[in-house]
DNA sequence: CTCTTACCTG
DNA sequence: CAGGTAAGAG
């Protein structure tokens, strides 16, 4: 591919020539009116807060692998972290129980102090946050201006803007580092705390009053909750601000012949100079575009459902501007988010990191990508990760951080699921099928309280059950015919037990892990269904094209209530 | 006419 | 399992 080597400097003039066609039409309009990620961060804020609140006791679970994945060396001098570390680094082995407790209490108090007085010690969390807020206001102001004749915006202002945004992001990253440090420590606290309680229990001597450390712990948790929530949402806000600013700053037309071949990259940051810091150079690999198709698919992000397949099947020539076809009306945040959630993080023109250079990437120290994204997270599908689905190359780096945040959120059992249906939902639906073959949409709503039901989600769920039934009846017919072939004459000889092959087939389909005790009722209904098929086929009713409908009518009356347990969002 | 659903396909 | 389609209900 014709990718510019990452070494190229990203000075302003150059940046302006990068991928003009991409820059234009694709995102300008929709994102110009996009409110800086407000919806995502809002949702996040809400969701995270809820989750945190409901997970009071397990919130701070953070396996030590996580903590060890954090490399303070790779980060620019994080005094706070170091200070904390030195303060907390002594080992417990030699301490007697009471010494141990005392020491721990001290540590907890230390942390609380550190957080309350916040970062004057280390530097700047507080003032940074203030700065972020200021920036936010300033940005709003600038965005208003830029929405008008954009090209008239003085370049220096843009540069400054970008530079400051850059700084903000770095600040947020530092904050996250710090936060993570704190959480890691708290986890250690909790961990040894529980160990200790185990010991204490065996010795039949719970610590009286606990030195008020329980209270301290609680306070700490609260503080951490707030901090985490705030930090994450601020980071996200920042990223989105940056995104929209960047897009606004890029307004050159798409008709340049350049866009077809040579320069298929877009500037990582806004088109301005951000000084050739190492980070700038290193992060460039994130912004490669592989071809026109990607852009076409990008459309799917913001145009409603039908456009996805359309766009994929009928890529537009680059010099045309297909992207605008859906933009007659301003898009709502919710539409975009909905699309993200629906099609998931990798549904669009996501660019793979194809960096050949093995230069370290500072922002990844936070992400702890290798550990988190491979092992522990596995199948986790957090809606938050869908931020990645934006797949706007120039925010890829930030996406990495967002993603890592999301990952760690799942890691911490926050399990942010947003509104889309996850594999767990599917699994749950399958188990529910053992009770109900024809669930009403109301029933579904009741039993999937963690799902935000809109038309798409509802029909998807209904579609699932429709598919379940399809498989179910296919099996019924198959085994009924088999019984007839096997010479069974009487309907009464047709039965379904847990040993039946029919049951095994069904169980394999709906309960693959076989970790669910299928209710007897399901067997009874299955038997009725099988007998219905048997009779109908025996009587040659199957010559009627709609012969199955009578059977469906019988079966749909045999639904039973789904146990209340299924209503729990965390079922499974 | 819109919305739902059964059926078919990949 | 999801997408597409066509028939049917309201």
- Say which range, A79-88, A156-165, A218-227, has the weakest mean pLDDT: A79-88
The whole-number average pLDDT for the span A135-157 is 39
In chain C, which nucleotides are within 7 Å of a protein Cβ? 1-4
The whole-number average pLDDT for the span A398-422 is 47
Residue A436 has pLDDT above 90, yes or no: yes
pLDDT of residue A335: 42
| Residue A460 CA from chain centroid, whole number | 19
pLDDT of residue A207: 31
Residue A463 has pLDDT above 60, yes or no: yes
pLDDT of residue A500: 93
Output Rg (C-alpha) for chain A, integer angstroms.
29
| CA dist list (Å): A491 to A234, A351, A484 | 67, 59, 10
Give distance CA A549 / C1' C8 (Å): 14
Residue A385 has pLDDT above 60, yes or no: no
Give distance CA A4 / C1' B1 (Å): 54
A423 nearest nt, CA–C1': C1
DSSP summary character for residue A363: T
% of chain A surpassing 70 pLDDT: 26
* CB < 7 A to strand C: residues 509-538, chain A: 509
pLDDT of residue A454: 86
What digits encode the pLDDT tens for the residues A314-334?
A: 333 222 222 323 333 333 444
The whole-number average pLDDT for the span A229-251 is 50
A477 — pLDDT class (breaks 50, 70, 90): very high
Give distance CA A463 / C1' B8 (Å): 14
Give distance CA A564 / C1' C7 (Å): 37
% of chain A surpassing 90 pLDDT: 19
Which residue's C-alpha is at the least distance from the C1' of B7? A470
A77 — pLDDT class (breaks 50, 70, 90): very low
Contact criterion met (CB below 8 Å) for A382 and A408 = no
A547 nearest nt, CA–C1': B6
Q: Which structure tokens are listed for A148?
A: 């008008």
pLDDT of residue A565: 87
A464 nearest nt, CA–C1': C1
Give distance CA A500 / C1' C10 (Å): 42
The whole-number average pLDDT for the span A70-78 is 34
Contact criterion met (CB below 8 Å) for A512 and A470 = no
Give distance CA A551 / C1' C9 (Å): 20
A381 — pLDDT class (breaks 50, 70, 90): very low
3-state SS, one letter per residue, for A166-203: HHHHHHHHHHHHHHHHHHHHHHHHHHHHHHHHHHHHHC
User: Residue with structure tokens 């030590």?
Assistant: A64
A430 nearest nt, CA–C1': C1
Whether nucleic acid strand C comes within 7 Å of the CB of A460, the answer is yes
Residue A250 has pLDDT above 80, yes or no: no
Whether nucleic acid strand C comes within 7 Å of the CB of A463, the answer is yes
A569 — pLDDT class (breaks 50, 70, 90): confident
pLDDT of residue A183: 54
Give distance CA A150 / C1' C6 (Å): 49
A481 — pLDDT class (breaks 50, 70, 90): very high
Give distance CA A309 / C1' C4 (Å): 12
Q: Which of A364-368, A398-402, A409-413, A453-457 is modeled with the greatest confidence?
A: A453-457
Residue A182 has pLDDT above 90, yes or no: no
pLDDT of residue A420: 79
What digits encode the pLDDT tens for the residues A259-275?
A: 332 222 322 333 333 33
Contact criterion met (CB below 8 Å) for A298 and A323 = yes
The whole-number average pLDDT for the span A342-347 is 35
What digits encode the pLDDT tens for the residues A104-113?
A: 555 544 544 4
- Say which range, A83-92, A328-337, A427-436, has the weakest mean pLDDT: A83-92
The whole-number average pLDDT for the span A148-163 is 44
Give distance CA A359 / C1' B9 (Å): 48
- Say which range, A187-201, A350-364, A511-525, has the weakest mean pLDDT: A350-364
A440 nearest nt, CA–C1': B4
A459 nearest nt, CA–C1': B4
Whether nucleic acid strand C comes within 7 Å of the CB of A275, the answer is no
* CB < 7 A to strand C: residues 294-333, chain A: 306, 309
- Say which range, A190-199, A450-459, A526-535, has the weakest mean pLDDT: A190-199
A342 nearest nt, CA–C1': C2
A179 — pLDDT class (breaks 50, 70, 90): low
Residue A173 has pLDDT above 50, yes or no: yes
In chain B, which nucleotides are within 7 Å of a protein Cβ? 4-8
pLDDT of residue A301: 28
pLDDT of residue A176: 60
Residue A544 has pLDDT above 50, yes or no: yes
DSSP summary character for residue A274: -
What digits encode the pLDDT tens for the residues A110-141?
A: 544 444 444 333 333 333 333 334 344 334 43
Which residue's C-alpha is at the least distance from the C1' of B8? A470
pLDDT of residue A159: 55
Residue A356 has pLDDT above 50, yes or no: no
Mean pLDDT rounded to a whole number for chain A? 52
Burial class (CB in 10 A: 0-12, 13-18, 19+), A552: middle
Whether nucleic acid strand C comes within 7 Å of the CB of A427, the answer is no
Whether nucleic acid strand C comes within 7 Å of the CB of A421, the answer is yes
pLDDT of residue A543: 85
What's the angle, vertex CA A386, arms to CA A407 and CA A177, rounded to 5? Answer: 35
Q: Which structure tokens are listed for A18?
A: 């990068």
Q: Which residues touch strand B (CB under 7 A)?
A: A 455, 459, 462, 466, 469-470, 546, 548-549, 552
Whether nucleic acid strand C comes within 7 Å of the CB of A553, the answer is no
Instruction: Annotate A369-390 with DSSP letters as a single string.
Output: HIIIIIIITTT---GGGGGGGG
Give distance CA A463 / C1' B7 (Å): 13
A102 — pLDDT class (breaks 50, 70, 90): low
A489 — pLDDT class (breaks 50, 70, 90): very high
More confident residue, A446 or A47: A446
pLDDT of residue A106: 52
Question: What domains are there in chain A, each with its CATH number?
Answer: 421-567 (1.10.10.500)
The whole-number average pLDDT for the span A459-487 is 93
Which residue's C-alpha is at the least distance from the C1' of B4? A459
Give distance CA A266 / C1' B5 (Å): 46
The whole-number average pLDDT for the span A173-194 is 54
Closest to A319 measured CA to CA, from A257, A392, A251: A257
Measure the CA–CA gap between A208 and A201, rounded to whole angstroms. 12
């Amino acid at each position: 591919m014709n990718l510019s080597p990452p070494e190229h400097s990203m000075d302003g003039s150059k940046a302006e020539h990068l991928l003009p066609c991409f820059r234009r039409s694709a995102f300008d309009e929709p994102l110009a009116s996009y409110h800086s990620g407000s919806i995502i961060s809002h949702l996040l804020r809400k969701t995270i807060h809820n989750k945190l609140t409901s997970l009071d006791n397990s919130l701070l679970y953070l396996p030590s692998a996580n903590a060890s994945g954090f490399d303070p060396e790779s980060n620019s001098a994080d005094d706070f972290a170091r200070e904390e570390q030195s303060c907390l680094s002594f080992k417990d082995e030699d301490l007697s129980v009471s010494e141990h407790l005392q020491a721990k209490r001290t540590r907890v108090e230390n942390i609380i102090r550190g957080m309350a007085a916040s970062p004057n010690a280390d530097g700047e969390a507080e003032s940074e946050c203030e700065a972020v807020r200021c920036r936010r206001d300033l940005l709003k102001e600038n965005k208003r201006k830029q929405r008008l004749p954009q090209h008239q915006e003085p370049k220096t202002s843009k540069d400054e803007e970008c530079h400051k945004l850059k700084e903000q992001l770095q600040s947020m990253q530092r904050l996250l580092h710090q936060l993570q440090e704190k959480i890691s420590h708290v986890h250690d606290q909790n961990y040894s705390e529980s160990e200790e309680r185990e010991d204490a229990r065996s010795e039949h001597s719970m610590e009286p009053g606990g030195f008020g450390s329980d209270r301290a712990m609680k306070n700490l948790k609260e503080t951490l909750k707030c901090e985490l929530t705030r930090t994450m949402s601020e980071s996200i806000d920042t990223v989105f601000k940056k995104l929209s600013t960047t897009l606004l700053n890029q307004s050159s037309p798409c008709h340049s012949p350049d866009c077809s071949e040579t320069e298929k990259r877009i500037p990582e940051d806004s088109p301005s100079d951000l000084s050739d810091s190492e980070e700038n150079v290193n992060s460039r690999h994130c912004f490669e575009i592989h071809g026109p198709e990607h852009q076409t698919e990008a459309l799917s992000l913001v145009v409603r459902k039908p456009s996805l397949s359309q766009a994929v099947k009928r890529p537009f020539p680059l010099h045309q501007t297909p992207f605008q076809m859906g933009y007659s009306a301003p898009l709502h945040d919710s539409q975009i988010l909905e699309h993200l959630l629906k099609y998931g993080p990798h549904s669009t023109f996501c660019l793979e990191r194809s960096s050949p250079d093995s230069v370290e990437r500072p922002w990844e120290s936070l992400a702890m990508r290798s550990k988190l994204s491979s092992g522990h997270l596995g199948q986790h599908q957090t809606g938050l990760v869908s931020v990645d689905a934006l797949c706007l190359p120039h925010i890829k780096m930030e996406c990495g951080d967002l993603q890592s945040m999301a990952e760690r959120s799942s890691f911490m059992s926050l399990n942010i699921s947003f509104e889309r249906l996850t594999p767990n939902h599917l699994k749950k639906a399958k188990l529910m099928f053992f009770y109900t073959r024809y669930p009403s949409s109301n029933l579904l709503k009741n039993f999937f309280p963690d799902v935000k039901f809109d038309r798409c989600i509802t029909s998807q769920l209904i579609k699932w059950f429709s598919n379940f039934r399809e498989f179910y009846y296919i099996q019924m017919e198959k085994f009924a015919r088999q019984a007839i072939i096997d010479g069974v004459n009487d309907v009464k000889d047709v039965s379904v037990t847990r040993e039946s092959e029919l049951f095994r087939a069904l169980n394999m389909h709906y309960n693959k892990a076989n970790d669910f005790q299928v209710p007897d009722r399901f067997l009874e209904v299955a038997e009725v269904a099988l007998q219905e098929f048997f009779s109908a086929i025996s009587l040659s009713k199957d010559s009627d094209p709609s012969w199955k409908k009578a059977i469906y009518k019988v079966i749909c009356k045999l639904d039973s209530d789904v146990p209340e347990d299924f209503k729990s969002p965390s079922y499974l």
